Structure 1
Amino acid sequence: MWAPAAVCGALALLLGLPFAGGTTPGSVDAAAAAAVAHLSPGVVRVLLLPTEPFVVLALGLLAVALCLRAGRRLEAALALGAPLLAILLTGWLLKPLYDRWKNGTLVYPSGHTVSLVAVLTVLVLVTRRVIVVVLAAVALLAAAAGLVGMGYHYLTDVAGGTLFAVAVVLATWPVPRRAPAPSGG
């Protein structure tokens, strides 16, 4: 999973470069903000629910429980460790490095998004179910609209957070092993 991780990581790092050290939105950011400006504050708060710590923690614990139930202890440890690593790298390294501000807060990449997407990526890898991919995409879209609508982040912050979270989880996740083929002789 190194190639997709490297691509996502490189894209996350490159996406933030034009906005480093700044406070102004790009044209895509402004268009996204305009697209959700009509949403009521109540709707925006509901869209933010997937990023709430109690939701992210519950999803993370679900991933751990699924791994333990399947006897996959290494994946259970990584289900906790990979999102934690992504969150720590975002807060301690990337946000200060990019120095992008909004409302007095460092915003690139979005920590809200990193925590949610890291856990959702783990759930997708653990379950390998299409329905989980669909639900994860819906949760991410809702969260993006909420984060932009509430004014917490620019859309590029959300995109950068998504790419970085996926990169960290894929880089730390073990490659699935195929069962050995039965011997013919």
Structure 2
Amino acid sequence: MVTHPRCPAPPGAPATLGRVRTTAAVCGLLALLLGLPFAGGTTPGAVDRAADAAVAPLGPGVLRALVFPTEPYVVLALGLLAVVLCLRAGRRLEAALALAVPVLAILLTSWVLKPLYDRWKNDTLVYPSGHTVSLVAVLTVLVLVTRRVFVGVLAAVTLLAAAAGLVGMGYHYLTDVVGGTLFAVAVVLVSWPAPHREPAPSTG
């Protein structure tokens, strides 16, 4: 009788998971701390004013193009892409998380953090940025799903463009965007399953 030994867990899996959880904790803590100086306020900080000045030369058409990735239908399309990629690879748990985790991040932002920090701009609660949380949560999921460097690079470029657009359009201060980025990364990383290795093919 031919036996098929079980594929052992990757030797580096516990260490990798530990680093991921540590990164999530650091990002979450930084997101919480960053908003404290602005809680209950309406004014920009020094970094916010510098960012406003940096994007001021950009025209309305450019700014609208830069902020385009934060549109709900774009974020939804990216999320569905992540789900499809997971299902094609037979990773059903990750497919479910690809849908659920960004929604969780958005709900926590809207229902908990924004009322808690009570930072206002243009009669709207702005910390952390909900636009940013939704986009970064989905982009982080895509990076984890694909595990490709070029996807990470594209995600970073997309985030930088969106940040410039959100600040330039007056939707958010830069610190709102940074806080949203940190919080979204924290929620996704703390929710994502440990990396695993596919079973080795049988030689029997």
Q: In which range does the TM-score fall when normalised by the shorter chain?
A: over 0.9
Deviation sequence 1:42-82 (CA, Å, 0-9, x none): 10000001100111000000000000000000000000011
Partners of 2:191 and 2:198 in 1: CA distance: 21
Q: Does 1:141 align with 2:160?
A: yes
Aligned match of 1:126: 145
Map 1:166-181 to 2 at 5 A: 166-178=185-197
What TM-score results when the alignment is normalised by the length of structure 2?
0.87
Structure 1: gaps spanning 5 or more residues: none
Identify the match of residue 48 of structure 2 among 25, 29, 39. Answer: 29
TM-score calculated relative to the size of structure 1: 0.96
Give the percent of matched residue pairs that are identical in Structure 1 and Structure 2: 83
Q: How many residues are matched? A: 182
Give the CA deviation at 1:2. 1.4
Looking at structure 2, the residues matched to 66 and 104 of structure 1 have their Cα atoms a distance apart, in angstroms, of: 39
- Inter-CA distance 181–63: structure 2 relative to 1 (3 Å threshold): closer
Q: Distance in 2 between matches of 1:69 and 1:164?
A: 29
Which entry has the higher C-alpha Rg, 1 or 2? 2
Task: Give the counterpart letter for 1:107 in structure 2.
Answer: V
Which ranges of 4 or more aligned residues in structure 1 deviate by more than 3 Å?
178-182
What is the Cα-based RMSD across aligned positions, in Å?
Answer: 1.2
Q: What per-residue deviation string (whole Å, max 9, x for no partner) do you get for residues 89-136 of structure 1?
A: 000000000000000000000000000000000000000001100110
Aligned to 1:16: 35
**Which amino acid in structure 1 is aligned with residue 148 of structure 2?**
R
Deviation at 1:181, TM superposition (A): 8.3
Question: What is the 5 A alignment of 1:5-154?
Answer: 5-154=24-173
Structure 1 residue 156, shift from structure 2 partner = 0.2
Pairwise CA distance, 1:28: 0.2
